Structure 1
Amino acid sequence: MAFEKITDEMLEGKGNIGKPNTPGVSTQEMQRIMDEIPREVIVPAFNEFLDAL
């Protein structure tokens, strides 16, 4: 049973790394940005892991 690791490519363009100190986005957009990695990368990988078990 092989599992896929979370790679830098999966994280690219997600989250707040590389954003300016004052990002110039709404509070709602900043909350979405902060949730990108958990919601779009970690949760799907974790669910795939659980399904495989």
Structure 2
Amino acid sequence: MIKKLASFGRTPVVYKSVFLILLAMLLYIEIIAPVTGLWSPRPSTFMDLWFMNSQK
């Protein structure tokens, strides 16, 4: 476990920033968006979009 943390400390900044961006996006989608109402947390939203695209 400690070795993993040490190797994570040596990883390039690019990987860390990408990881942080993904984490922030996940937090935004899961917590902030449903609370503020910017995103309707419906699980079928992606399916609706896919269905509409396939109907064309």
Asked if Structure 1 and Structure 2 have the same fold, meaning a TM-score greater than 0.5 normalized by the shorter chain, the answer is no
Q: Report the TM range for the smaller structure's normalisation.
A: 0.3 to 0.5
TM-score calculated relative to the size of structure 2? 0.38
* Structure ID, larger Rg: 2
Q: Which has the higher contact order (CA 8 A, sep 6+)?
A: 1
- Structure with the larger helix share: 2
